[in-house]
Amino acid sequence: MLQSHRTEAVGSSSVTRRQFLRRTAASGGLLAVPYAVPASALGRDDAVAPSERIVLGGIGIGGRGSGDLRWMMAEKDVQFVAVCDAKKSQRAKVKQIVDTHYGNADCGTYRDIREFLAVRDDVDAVLIATGDRWHALASIMAMRAGKDIYTEKPSCMTIAQGQAVVETANRYRRIYQTGTQRLSEPNFVMANELLRLGRLGEVHTVRAHIAPWDAAEMRHDWLPAEAEPPRDEVDWDQWLGPCPWRPYNAQYVRGGWRGHYDFHTSCIGEWGAHTFAQCHVAIGAVDTSPVEYQYVNNPTGDGMVTTFASGMKMILHRGNQWWRGSCGVRYEGTEGWVAVADGYSKPEVSSPALLEDFEKIVRDYTARTQHPMGHIRDLFDSIKSRRPTVANPEVMHRSMTSVHAANICMWLNRDMKYDPVKEEFIGDTEANRLRSRAMREPWII
């Protein structure tokens, strides 16, 4: 059952509204005056009753997260109540967005994720839109605190972190959605369904877009030290989280962490988090990963061939030779092919006949799976029904394993064989060591 009570925080106050009222009443501070209950609080005037609302909080909501937040607040059965961020300016920015949306000043702000999770027992679900380094740990901490999760991608920094997310979600019975939103968009769903329905014949090759910037090999140095700002302005320890201690530099907190090994998952992870998940779901490989990774002698992984145990090949591509636009995928079979990327009105296909029943196929998919065409809505429906989301922990982990294995293949400059059952590289001790990274205390799993 969703919680309907709310906590109000000023700064980082740990006193709940309920506690405040109880203490005030005990001291004789409550006056017996009439209290007008607005119709919206009772679920009238087209509003959702409090008992049916999903109470939402956020961790690390920046540019991308602000878009997620607006999509979420547009849902009538959701109420956003609190934000946690290591940066004071970002806390204030999100609070302004939220308070303006609701016409009040109720959005609580927190600097420390531990306090936020401990105090806000009214929060049902958490939006996590930090940098990559925090996605897995914040998800695990929040699930342990009884929260359901929407986290931006790439959702884990290592294979071991992905395993830990799956284990935590299962142990605490939490609903989890990773932000691979193309799994909930009609064009991409249509491409997947053409494959599933056998319209392409026997599919032998899928192609996945990786980001056309940065490289697979990342920087292992760090930026020059600068004077740390006051802790309330930027909590540098919180910002780093589980990463190794590095000297403060303002470029990091302005997005300059990308391309650094400590904080990023490379050009392969940047878009592969989306496109690998798309391919895994399309071919029904939601519980496995490729067993072979062929090293390519270039800086980016462009052209790498990965092969599943079934013989299906997933090939990585940096450019637009197989599609136009970003985050493209292409599926090739004996009877035809389909390709789609961002910005398409409909997928590109080898024969126009493949698209004749586009709308029906998407409707049938929604009816069959109960996954709506809306990634945010899929999360909220799943929170209420407790059924898995389309981008559930296993989908995230297995597709991100493919990302990490491809990265490791590039870092070690050699072909790799991987056992997806044991979740380890075969006969390669050095590669197996790279399945995890040390995490800095106290920010550990």
- Domain residue ranges in the chain: 17-130, 182-216+264-433
What is the pTM for the complete model shown?
Answer: 0.89
- What local confidence, expressed as pLDDT, does residue 16 receive? 45
Each residue's pLDDT tens digit, 97-106: 999 999 999 9
Q: Which CATH class is domain 17-130?
A: alpha beta
Q: What angle do CA 432, 131, 147 make, to 5 degrees?
A: 90
Confidence check: pLDDT of 156 > 50: yes
Find, among 438, 44, 10, the residue nearest to 242 by Cα.
438
Confidence check: pLDDT of 49 > 90: no
Each residue's pLDDT tens digit, 135-152: 999 999 999 999 999 999
- What local confidence, expressed as pLDDT, does residue 318 receive? 97
Each residue's pLDDT tens digit, 325-349: 999 999 999 999 999 999 999 999 9
CATH number of 182-216+264-433: 3.30.360.10
Q: Are strands 78-84 and 108-110 parallel, antiparallel or unpaired?
A: parallel
Confidence check: pLDDT of 20 > 70: no
